[in-house]
């Protein structure tokens, strides 16, 4: 195993409200349960500048390094790694669960420690440093091997010809995968995705199509909806603009036939949107709904309709490890299209030194498939 440099560059925030500063810090070393990954590409997310400033409900420890959506190469492993080896290309994702209390101590690495004293302590003691750095110490569980030859090899050699940055859409799609699998979406089913044009909700359209579903995509902005529809072969995605007329929108959602499932990834701003009231009545008898939003107040549901139609509502936070493995297999087989073929576009490439420019471009491009990439 090649020896690592003693120090590395990392973007560090000392505490909420302080600037994100490029610092030279000690390169981490591999400990039991972890490995060291050289970051090749990491996503600059439009929400990170707000998190760094301090958003109620989001906490992070001192000397925090943001971001967890990254593609990297393993350079060192802890003694208990059994399959990960130096040289392996991996996808990194940020849902870390404490090994001895996985249901109650959970953090979003590079985003927030959550609100319980246990999760705040867990992040501070172990995972304060995320992926906006040259190297990261990552939990073994959050590193997923990628078949580099298949994904990035040339088509002449049986590869899919993706650039590393194309693989950065996978961690966002993984959130959608968690929701779609939580309600057991199957090939051939008709699924409402609402809204459908944000980074995560648009990813739900991409993953649902790859799973073999027919998607009814709903949002307010018709131009963006048409763009989403244009990413896919004819007939795979229908669009319904939100008009605010609940009954008319329900009828529009049902115009292609019975709807089996509905996944909701609304932003907090959409909590008063009429789309939620339109989507439940659009579901067929025994239909399933997955609610994935982080909305600060309660949203009414049509109680009697749920009863009459034997509907199932499932809440879903993040995903399971099997969801990640299956998503990667879908990309490797080619059913889940990445890169331009999947409707994605890299709209900026930056170095760690240029992070503010990277955030500025990300803020102007918050919608589905737009990636801003930092190459440390």
Ligand X SMILES: NC(=O)c1ccc[n+]([C@@H]2O[C@H](COP(=O)([O-])OP(=O)(O)OC[C@H]3O[C@@H](n4cnc5c(N)ncnc54)[C@H](OP(=O)(O)O)[C@@H]3O)[C@@H](O)[C@H]2O)c1
State in angstroms the smallest separation of the CB of 72 from ligand X: 21
> Binding of ligand X at residue 240 (CB under 6 A)?
no
Residue 12's φ and ψ, nearest 5 degrees, are -120, 135
Using CB under 6 A, pick the residue from 63, 116, 221, 312 that binds ligand X: 221
Could you give the CA distance from residue 262 to residue 288 in angstroms, rounded to a whole number?
Answer: 6
CB of 257 to ligand X, least distance (A): 24
Which of 177, 170, 172, 251 minimizes the C-alpha distance to 216? 251
Asked if residue 200 binds ligand X (CB under 6 A), the reply is: yes
How many residues are given for the chain? 376
Nearer to ligand X, 270 or 372 (CB): 270
For residue 49, state whether it binds ligand X (rule: CB under 6 A): no
Residues 23, 220, 277, 284: which binds ligand X (CB under 6 A)?
A: 220
**Half-sphere exposure (Cβ direction) of 288: Cα atoms closer than 13 Å:** 15
Spatial separation of the C-alpha atoms in residues 231 and 229, rounded to whole Å? 5
CB nearer to ligand X: give 88 or 273: 273
Query: What's the order of all strands across the beta sheet hosting 283-291?
Result: 237-241, 214-219, 190-194, 259-264, 283-291, 312-315
Among 199, 215, 253, 328, binds ligand X (CB under 6 A): 199
Residue 318 to residues 84, 88, 131, 180, Cα–Cα distance (Å): 24, 25, 19, 11
Asked if 319 and 204 count as a contact pair (C-beta separation under 8 A), the reply is: no
In the complex with ligand X, which residue's Cβ is closer, 34 or 316?
A: 316
Beta carbons of 177 and 207 less than 8 angstroms apart: yes
Distance CA 253, CA 256 (A): 7
Between 59 and 201, whose beta carbon lies closer to ligand X?
201
User: Which residue's CB is nearer to ligand X, number 152 or number 265?
Assistant: 265
Output 88 or 201, the one with its CB closest to ligand X.
201
Our finding on whether 162 is near ligand X (CB under 6 A) is: no
d(C-alpha 276, C-alpha 195), whole Å: 9
If the CB atoms of residues 13 and 196 are measured against ligand X, the closer one turns out to be 196
Closest chain position to ligand X (CB): 198
Instruction: Give the residue, chosen from 198, 287, 339, 343, that forms a contact with ligand X under the rule CB under 6 A.
Output: 198
Measure the CA–CA gap between 222 and 197, rounded to whole angstroms: 10
Q: Which is nearer to ligand X, 227 or 284 (CB)?
A: 227
201 is a site residue for ligand X (CB under 6 A)? yes
The residue from 197, 206, 229, 250 that contacts ligand X (CB under 6 A) is 197
Task: Report 262-281 residues binding ligand X (CB under 6 A).
Answer: 265, 267, 269-270, 273
- Identify residues 332-371 at the interface with ligand X (CB under 6 A): 366
Q: Per the structure block, which two tokens stand in for 298?
A: 């309660």
Closest CA to 8 of 185, 120, 137: 137
| E strands present in 101-198 | 106-108, 135-139, 143-145, 190-194
Site size with ligand X, rule: CB under 6 A: 24
219 binds ligand X (CB under 6 A): yes
> Which of 122, 293, 330, 343 is close enough to bind ligand X by CB under 6 A?
293
In degrees to the nearest 10, what's the CA dihedral of 18, 20, 24, 28?
100
Per-residue contact string for residues 298-337; x = within reach of ligand X by CB under 6 A: ------------------xxx-------------------
Residues that bind ligand X (CB under 6 A): 175, 195-201, 219-221, 224, 265, 267, 269-270, 273, 292-294, 316-318, 366
């Amino acid at each position: 195993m090649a020896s690592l440099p003693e120090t590395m560059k990392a973007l560090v925030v000392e505490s909420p409200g302080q600037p994100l500063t490029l610092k030279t810090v000690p390169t981490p070393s591999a400990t039991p349960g972890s490995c060291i990954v050289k970051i090749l590409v990491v996503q600059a997310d439009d929400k990170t500048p707000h998190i760094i400033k301090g958003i109620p409900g989001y906490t992070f420890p001192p000397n925090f390094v943001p971001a967890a959506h990254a593609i990297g190469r393993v350079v060192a492993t802890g003694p208990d790694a059994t399959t990960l080896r130096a040289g392996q290309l991996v996808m990194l994702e940020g849902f870390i669960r404490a090994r001895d209390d996985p249901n109650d101590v959970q953090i979003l690495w590079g985003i927030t420690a959550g609100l319980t004293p246990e999760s705040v302590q867990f992040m501070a003691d172990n995972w304060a440093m995320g992926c906006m750095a040259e190297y990261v110490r990552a939990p073994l569980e959050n590193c997923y091997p990628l078949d580099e030859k298949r994904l990035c090899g040339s088509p002449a050699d049986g590869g899919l010809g993706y650039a590393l940055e194309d693989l950065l859409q996978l961690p966002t799609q993984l959130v959608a995968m968690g929701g779609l699998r939580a309600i057991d979406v199957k090939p051939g089913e008709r699924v409402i995705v609402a809204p459908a044009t944000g980074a995560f909700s648009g990813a739900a359209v991409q993953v649902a199509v790859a799973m073999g579903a027919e998607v009814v995509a709903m949002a307010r902005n018709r131009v963006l909806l048409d763009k989403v529809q244009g990413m896919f072969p004819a007939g795979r995605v229908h669009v319904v603009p939100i008009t605010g007329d609940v009954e008319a929108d329900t009828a529009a959602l049902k115009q292609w036939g019975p709807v089996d499932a509905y996944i909701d990834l609304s932003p907090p701003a959409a909590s008063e949107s009429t789309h939620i009231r339109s989507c439940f009545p659009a579901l067929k008898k025994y239909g399933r709904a997955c609610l994935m939003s982080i909305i600060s107040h309660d949203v009414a549901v049509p109680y009697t309709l749920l009863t009459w139609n034997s509907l199932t509502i499932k809440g879903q936070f993040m995903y399971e490890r099997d969801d990640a493995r299956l998503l990667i297999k879908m990309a490797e087989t080619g059913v889940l299209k990445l890169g331009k073929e999947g409707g994605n576009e890299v709209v900026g490439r930056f170095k760690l030194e240029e992070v503010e420019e990277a955030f500025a471009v990300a803020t102007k491009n918050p919608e589905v498939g737009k990636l801003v990439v930092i190459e440390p």
